[in-house]
């Protein structure tokens, strides 16, 4: 009986190690910095936040991004294919399809996001969807006094963050 218990204990420890090992491989935080702002993008599950570098204060904390076709909202589950330049970061946003209506025929299950420092205090965020025209692209933010949700009907979504000033929304 002791030997059987010992084997189960070893199996449990191995399973726990593999679970945490795989989770750490899948989840990554990508960063982009200007002299004033720091962008942190979590790839899985997808989210981002913008911090003021000198103080570490969180200025914007994004919680949900979604793309709507018809009546169905497809939330973004993760970011992949992340590429960085000196002033920007781009990624593909994978949509969660499980438990939802089928997407229109030929519609790709991914959107694109681009973060670009226009100036050290200005970060432009553009979400686009190539290959189809969604009814809506939306983002929700954790409540910290900024916009609780932003929506651009069928247009690229471009919030602009200006450090220490009001947040602006532009639909291009």
Lowest mean pLDDT among 35-44, 71-80, 130-139: 130-139
CB 81 within 8 A of CB 91: yes
Helix, strand or coil, per DSSP, at residue 98: coil
What Å distances lie between residue 71 and 112, 115, 155, CA to CA? Answer: 21, 28, 17
Give the model's confidence band at 104: pLDDT under 50 very low, under 70 low, under 90 confident, else very high: confident
pLDDT attached to residue 29: 93
Closest Cα partner for 28 from 15, 44, 16? 44
pTM recorded for the entire structure: 0.71
In this structure, how many other beta carbons lie within 10 angstroms of the beta carbon of residue 107?
17
Q: How far apart are CA 17 and CA 33, in angstroms?
A: 33
């Amino acid at each position: 009986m002791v030997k059987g218990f010992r084997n189960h204990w070893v199996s449990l420890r191995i399973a726990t190690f593999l679970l945490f090992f795989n989770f750490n491989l899948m989840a990554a935080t990508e960063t982009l910095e200007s002299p004033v702002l720091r962008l942190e993008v979590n790839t899985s599950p997808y989210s981002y936040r913008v911090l003021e570098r000198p103080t570490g204060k969180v200025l914007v904390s994004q919680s949900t991004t979604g793309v709507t076709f018809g009546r169905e909202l497809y939330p973004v589950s993760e970011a992949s294919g992340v590429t960085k330049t000196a002033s920007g970061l781009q990624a593909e946003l994978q949509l969660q399809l499980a438990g939802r209506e089928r997407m229109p025929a030929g519609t790709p299950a991914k959107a694109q996001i681009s973060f670009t420092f226009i100036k050290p205090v200005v970060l432009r965020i553009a979400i686009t969807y190539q290959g189809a025209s969604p009814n809506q692209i939306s983002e929700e933010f954790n409540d910290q006094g900024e916009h609780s949700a932003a929506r651009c009907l069928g247009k690229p979504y471009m919030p602009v963050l200006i450090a220490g000033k009001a947040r602006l929304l532009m639909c291009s």
